[in-house]
Structure 1
Amino acid sequence: MIRTLSARLFFLTALWAIVATSAVAWYLAESFRTGVEINLRERLTANLYNVMGSVSQTGAGQLTGGPDLRDSRFLRPGSGYYWKVSNLTGDDSLSSASLAGGVIEVPEGAPFDSGFQREFLARDVGGQELIGIEARAFLGDGDALYSFVITANRNEADEQVSQFVQRLLIVLSLFALGFILVTFFLVRLGLDPIKQATARLADIREGKAERISGEFPLEIQPLIDETNALIVSNRNVVERARTQVGNLAHSLKTPLAVLRNEASRAAPAVRQVVEQQVQLMQSQVQTYLDRARISARSGTVTSRTEIAQSLTRLVRVMQKLNPNIDFTVTITASDPVFAGEQQDFEEMAGNLLENAAKFASSRVEVSATTAEKAIVLSVGDDGDGMTQAQIREAVKRGTRLDESKPGSGLGLSIVRDIAKEYNGTLTLGRSKLGGLNAELKLPLAGVSR
């Protein structure tokens, strides 16, 4: 199945050119063949009348005469161009030099027309196909009936038609080839605006532009306008979602703070229950607020973040906060660009760096590369690492495997949630330094998610 519009148009046009050219070639060839046969019959009829007017009887009843047909083929033996006059009631006859004493076998059964003439097909002694005309008439005042026969070589007419068809096919084939080539360029030129619109859409998806710009044909312009309107509408929806998320966050902070303050003045048993429930409520609210915020940002079509600068800046901050840890950064990809918001990338990378610095003994290695149309960010440390059971627990929200270390236990789960919104993945394993290695795969800008 042809899936591209340009290939479909080119194929249909080329097919039509071939069919139309073949039909024209057949029609012209048949018309030429008909014309050649009509012309041949007319010449034969004219020559037959010439023979009939040039042959007469002598006083002794013998045939005499020599028609001048002005065609040397009637003089060349075996040419297929013959004439013969025969007495149907006697033995006397007269024939052309080309017949050389031979006979012309007229098939029986061919009907005569009203002028006592008939056409026929025959073969001479050399096997050549002949087309002939026979007429019967009386000579002089006698009652003897004579047969006047003249023939032509039909093979020569066929060769003439064949040569014409060959030349015709060459000319029409060149015309069809030229037509197909011109159609190819016309199709490409005609569909170029669609190609340009596709390139503009790719720029929007990669974050290089915010709308489709440029002038397009009237047939495509309505689609461009609707697409731009859809992009604006999408942007407005995202902005409203961000605003509502922020408003919801502020509206919930105050009631929870009031509950916590009131619990501090309650009985110890009541205070403990209320504080636990308030903390649980804050955790749950924060979870869904984070997801809503991430979904709103990842839903945009113009998200684009160059990770080299962000990663370098984050590592510099971590080195200042953890002077006893040696951070090394390796970026093997050429200017990797994350198809997402800078804030989300920095939050994911920052959490991974903070977690590695918290549990590392002295070294943290950070690497960024591209593989399988994705950015791969790896953060490894030389700490104690984790078991498989601990790895499964580590990504659960609020889980703290080491209570001696500060933190809320939300870091890895936040990284996982943000990556999931971008169709990315977070994988934990053993680092080559001996500690934990966190591998984060994120979509590369320019690749459809």
Structure 2
Amino acid sequence: MIRSLRLRLMVAAALLALLFMLGLLPALQKAFSLALQEAIEKRLASDVTTLISAARIENNQLHMPELLPDEKFDLPDSRLLGYIFDRQGNLVWRSRATADENINYTPRYDGRGNEFARIRQVDGEEYFVYDVEVKLLGGKSAAFSIVALQPLREYQQTLNGLRERLYLGFGAALLTLLALLWAGMTWGLRSLRQLSHELDDVESGARDGLSSEHPRELLRLTGSLNRLLRSEREQRQRYRDSLGDLAHSLKTPLSVLQGVSESMAQRREDREQARILQSQIERMSQQIDYQLQRASLRKSGLVRHQVALRPLLDSLCSTLAKVYRDKQVKVSLEVPDQAMVPMEQGALLELLGNLLENAYRLCLGQVRISWQGGHTQVELCIEDDGPGVPADQRERILKRGERLDRQHPGQGIGLAVVKDIIDSYDASLTLGDSPLGGAAFRINFSME
């Protein structure tokens, strides 16, 4: 399927122009053929008039001069042939040019005056014939058919030459028309290209909305898009404000509860209840963080972000190396400097932070981060040499609250947040086995 609007219009215009020219060519050829036959008829009529003016009747006998006024009748290789027949159809005179010709023609002499026709000989040769019946010749009574003939060869050659010139001319005209159409469409679609560039700037975050410098037909579209962008920004700001207010309002009660649990933990008889209370407070805190992250890290509908990956990985690995300095984790970073990810920076930080924290926490001492880029798809892979994830448990650990590692604190929401972020950006996450011996988390992003 042709996806370019300009190319579609060009193909449609080319097909219409070609069909129009194919329909016009036969009509032009027919019109030129009729005009050429009409010109031949008039010329043969004039030639017959020359014969009539040269003929004389003496003693009821037809006499023709040795040399006719029109020398074409006398030239042996002439294309003009002259004959005179009496009323019975007998040949009574022929021009010198007919000496080598054997024409089988019988005049009708049926009172119709004159006739223009085409005849075919047994050898396949065709002729135009102009036959005039004469009853008065030189002021005397006479009954003759005076005939002028011309071979069709000249007519056919002229028609073939015209056909070739028409094909060449129409071909050149079609190419010229297509070039003009291409230039016209390029100019006419310039506003759409400008709109496309502005949308690219909006997606990349370089501008907030579309300009009003567009044709009248596009203003309603650009106005609707601007309203949608404005509504989206306002809605996202309201989300951020509401989430900030929610986090602030919950922070104080949780701090109070945390203080109470610490006071209870100092009394031996309340330590078990204090431990349970602290566990529930921690769980509430993590659940609140999860819901806040899930609500705030939504993909924008129109704005498409592009974030450089290498700086974020360098920063996160540096931070995690300090957190897990006792492990002396060796990190292999196989990511080019120009690698980009179609994701908002905050969402990407949350995603990478959770995956890398898991890799550092569970590895034995080695983590590898690799990147494979393409025009439409890119893949980020995070591997470790830890225990890995059993095949029958890989789907379960992506659910909220599910954990395989019971030796470290947490509520198992990190990978659930990662899954939510990936789903909101139309990416995909697959779990597999790494050549290092542990788990391999592969994230595929669409660049379209």
* Matching residue of 1:437: 439
Shift of 1:239: 1.4
User: What SS does the aligned partner of 2:98 have?
Assistant: coil
Quote the offset at 1:69 in angstroms. Answer: 5.0
Whether the 8 Å contact between 1:298 and 1:421 is mirrored in structure 2 is no
**Alpha-carbon deviation of 1:442?**
5.0
Matches within 5 A, 1:43-122: 43-59=43-59, 61-66=60-65, 69-77=68-76, 79=78, 81-88=80-87, 93-100=92-99, 105-106=105-106, 108=108, 112-113=111-112, 116-122=113-119
- Distance verdict in 2 for CA 1:123–1:318, change over 3 Å: closer
For residues 46-445 of structure 1, the aligned pairs below 5 Å read 46-59=46-59, 61-66=60-65, 69-77=68-76, 79=78, 81-88=80-87, 93-100=92-99, 105-106=105-106, 108=108, 112-113=111-112, 116-123=113-120, 127-139=125-137, 145-212=143-210, 215-253=213-251, 284-295=287-298, 299=301, 301-324=303-326, 325-361=328-364, 363-371=365-373, 373-381=377-385, 383-388=386-391, 394-399=397-402, 401-434=404-437, 436-441=438-443, 443=445
Letter paired with 1:85: I
Given that residues 115 and 132 in structure 2 are in contact (C-alpha distance below 8 angstroms), is that contact kept between their aligned partners in structure 1? yes
Per the alignment, do residues 66 and 368 of structure 1 end up closer, same or farther by CA in structure 2, a change over 3 Å counting? same
Q: Which aligned pairs between 1:11-50 and structure 2 lie closer than 5 A?
A: 11-50=11-50
Tell me the SS of whatever aligns to 1:345.
helix
How far did residue 369 of structure 1 move? 0.4
Code of the residue aligned with 1:411 in structure 2: it is: G
Gaps of 5+ in 1: none
CA contact (8 A) 2:107 2:145 kept: no
Q: Distance in 1 between matches of 2:174 and 2:405?
A: 80
- Kindly tell me: are residues 213 and 307 of structure 1, through their superposed partners in 2, closer, same or farther at Cα, counting changes over 3 Å? farther
Gapped regions of structure 2 (runs ≥ 5): none
Kept in 2, the 8 Å contact 1:6–1:188? The answer is: yes
In structure 2, the CA distance between the partners of 1:300 and 1:261, relative to structure 1 (3 Å rule), is: farther
Q: 2:378 is aligned with what amino acid?
A: A
**Any idea what SS the aligned residue of 1:98 has?**
helix
Displacement of 1:158 in angstroms is 2.9
1-structure distance, mates of 2:433, 2:380 = 16
Alignment CA distance shift 1:315-1:67 (3 Å): same
Q: Distance in 2 between matches of 1:250 and 1:348?
A: 24
Q: What SS does structure 2 have at the residue aligned with 1:397?
A: coil
Equivalent-residue separation in structure 2 for 1:90 and 1:19 (angstroms): 51
Q: Name the aligned partner's letter for residue 155 of structure 1.
A: R
Alignment-mate amino acid for residue 296 of structure 2:
R
Partner letter of residue 17 of structure 1?
Answer: A
Q: Secondary structure at 2:371's aligned position in 1?
A: strand
Code of the residue aligned with 1:420 in structure 2: it is D
Task: Tell me the distance in 1 between the aligned counterparts of 2:253 and 2:229.
Answer: 37
Deviations 1:330-386 (A, max 9, x none): 13334222222222222222233333333344x2323130256134131414x4445
Distance 2:434 2:368 in 1: 11
Inter-partner Cα distance in structure 1 for 2:131 and 2:145: 10
Q: Is the 8 A contact 2:339 2:373 kept in 1?
A: no
Query: What whole-Å deviation, never above 9, does each CA across 1:62-109 have from its counterpart, x for those lacking one?
Result: 32122865544312447552223344369782321123396662354x
Aligned partners of 1:124 and 1:130 also within 8 Å: no
Is the 1:348–1:414 contact (alpha carbons within 8 Å) kept by the matching residues of 2? yes
Structure 2 length as normaliser, TM-score? 0.80
Contact 1:205 1:301 in 2 (8 A): yes
Distance 1:348 1:329 in 2: 19
Residue 280 of structure 1 deviates from its aligned partner by 6.2
How far off is 1:318 after superposition?
Answer: 1.8
CA distance in 1, matches of 2:380, 2:360: 20
| CA distances 1:267-311 after superposition (whole Å, capped 9, x unpaired) | 98999998887776655544433321222x555624332221111
Task: Give the whole-Å Cα distance in 1 for the aligned partners of 2:135 and 2:227.
Answer: 93
- C-alpha separation between the residues in 2 aligned to 1:333 and 1:198? 29
Letter in 2 for 1:11: V
Give the TM-score taking structure 1 as reference length: 0.80
CA gap of 1:359–1:279, structure 2 versus 1, over 3 A, is: closer
Deviation at 1:441, TM superposition (A): 0.8
Please give the alpha-carbon distance, in whole angstroms, between the structure 2 residues aligned to 1:327 and 1:51: 115
| One-letter identity of the residue aligned with 2:297 | I
Within 2, Cα distance between the matches of 1:320 and 1:274? 31
CA contact (8 A) 1:138 1:146 kept: no
Partners of 1:48 and 1:150 within 8 A in 2: yes
Change (3 A) 1:430 1:20: closer
